[in-house]
Amino acid sequence: ENRKNEVIRLEQDILSDLADSSKFFVLETTDFWRQIKTAGSAVPANALYLMKAFQQQSDDLAKPSATILPPVYIHPSAQVDPTAKIGPNVSIGPRAVVGAGARIKDSIVLEDAEIKHDACVLYSIIGWSSRVGAWARVEGTPTPVREHHTTIIKNGVKVQSVTILGKECNVGDEVRVQNCVCLPYKDLRRDVTNEVIM
């Protein structure tokens, strides 16, 4: 009966005992390491992977240009208008579409997503088959790549610093979404800030 309410803590109860009994080992790496505890952690982790690929001069990355600020990954099946400004630290997935004059920075655009003309996506994850309308703005708050917290305090409330749109979300034209987590299949027709949209 008492065991049902017992809590096991990984660091205090398991790892410390393994270390005391010489059954715990460490693998030192010279590579980068990034803890991923939240969905928003994917954005800074993506930046680290892209930077590593850029330093290794990977052919998988988009070639730098006036509108591509490295490092940027664009899937070969994605359609990106040549007037869209992309990067740094952007990954664009399969069959994604990015319209004319769009701006994407420090973000992940998943497969089949669409960013319409003149939209702005910063510090965000755009979910599968989601749509960001013309002149819309989807943005999180910048956090340093080496920082492991993906939350910030705004007006005394802890909020997600990365904006995340779940699968098949639709952000209307000229709508601003900031520091929000939007669950799948939602239509956003008005500006929202610092909310979890269920």
Question: Counting Cβ atoms within 10 Å, is residue 133 exposed (0-12), middle (13-18) or buried (19+)?
Answer: buried
Task: Give the three-class secondary structure for 187.
Answer: strand
Do strands 120-122 and 137-139 pair parallel, antiparallel, or not at all (unpaired)? parallel
3 located within any domain? no
Tokens linked to 135: 């002149």
Give how many domains the chain has, as a whole number: 1
**Residue 118's domain is classified under what CATH number?**
2.160.10.10
88 located within any domain? yes
Bigger pLDDT: 152 or 116?
Answer: 116
* Model confidence pLDDT, tens digit, residues 61-100: 999 999 999 999 999 999 999 999 999 999 999 999 999 9
Output the pTM of the full model: 0.84
Backbone angles phi, psi at 150, to 5 degrees: -115, 25
* Model confidence pLDDT, tens digit, residues 18-56: 888 887 778 888 887 777 878 888 998 999 999 999 999
Task: Give the three-class secondary structure for 182.
Answer: strand
